[in-house]
């Protein structure tokens, strides 16, 4: 495992960011041997399948304003939030998960690499009262459920390129999920940003949450 795939697409990382990304390999391998947060068959693909996949959200968003706030719904062992928090040190990330042992892995890894822009919440997203600019998620639940549980947590005021909303990573055929909405869900193939064949079936789903409606509510 190495960070070549990260540096390939994000060549302007500073030394601290490089060191933090490099540390993830050994840390996740060690923690994964104790608490399974990544398929053990997939741990050798950590940087491509998990770290770089998480960073496709950054490839989509581009530069963001300092103090942009993210919430990661169902973060598990810290994806996509921990890679994003390394890349965006001036933004803040709130990681939420209902499984305490997985959240502990994310917390311990963040502490070990010196991430200071992350906070953690054990429990359900519905219990969170804070406001954020973006909710992010990686293959956690159907799109309509994600929208339902995070919509009230999204700030109205927007100061980034993309209006505030939900950005989630999906794989496979998502036409049915996205088809429930009335033209306000945008999808972007990850292979528009990253050329590795792993990403050919991966999609970024972006939902600006202001004035969203669904066919079922018509």
Confidence grade of residue 1 (pLDDT, cut at 50, 70, 90): low
What is the rounded distance in angstroms from the CA atom of residue 114 to the CA atom of residue 110?
6
Tokens of 8: 């390939």
Quick: pLDDT tens for 26-37: 999 999 999 989
pLDDT greater than 60 at residue 72: yes
Return the SS3 of 51: helix
pTM recorded for the entire structure? 0.93
Distance between the two ends of the chain, CA-based, in angstroms?
Answer: 49
């Amino acid at each position: 495992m190495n960070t070549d795939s990260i540096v390939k697409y994000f060549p302007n990382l500073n030394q601290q960011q490089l060191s933090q990304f490099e540390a993830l390999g050994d840390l996740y391998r060690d923690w994964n041997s104790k608490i399974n947060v990544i398929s053990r068959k997939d741990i050798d693909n950590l940087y491509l399948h998990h770290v770089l996949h998480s960073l496709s959200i950054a490839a989509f968003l581009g530069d963001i304003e300092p103090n942009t706030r993210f919430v990661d719904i169902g973060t598990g062992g810290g994806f996509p939030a921990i890679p994003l928090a390394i890349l965006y040190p001036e933004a803040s990330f709130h990681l939420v998960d209902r499984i305490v042992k997985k959240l502990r892995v994310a917390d311990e890894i963040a502490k070990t690499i010196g991430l200071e822009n992350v906070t953690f919440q054990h429990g359900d997203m519905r219990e969170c009262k804070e406001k954020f600019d973006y909710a992010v998620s990686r293959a956690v639940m159907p799109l309509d459920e994600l929208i339902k549980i995070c919509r009230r947590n999204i700030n109205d005021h927007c100061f980034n390129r993309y209006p505030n909303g939900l950005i989630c990573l999906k794989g496979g055929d998502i036409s049915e999920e996205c088809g429930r909405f009335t033209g306000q869900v945008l999808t972007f193939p990850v292979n528009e940003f990253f050329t590795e064949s792993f990403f050919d079936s991966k999609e970024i789903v972006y939902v600006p949450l202001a004035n969203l409606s669904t066919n079922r509510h018509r």
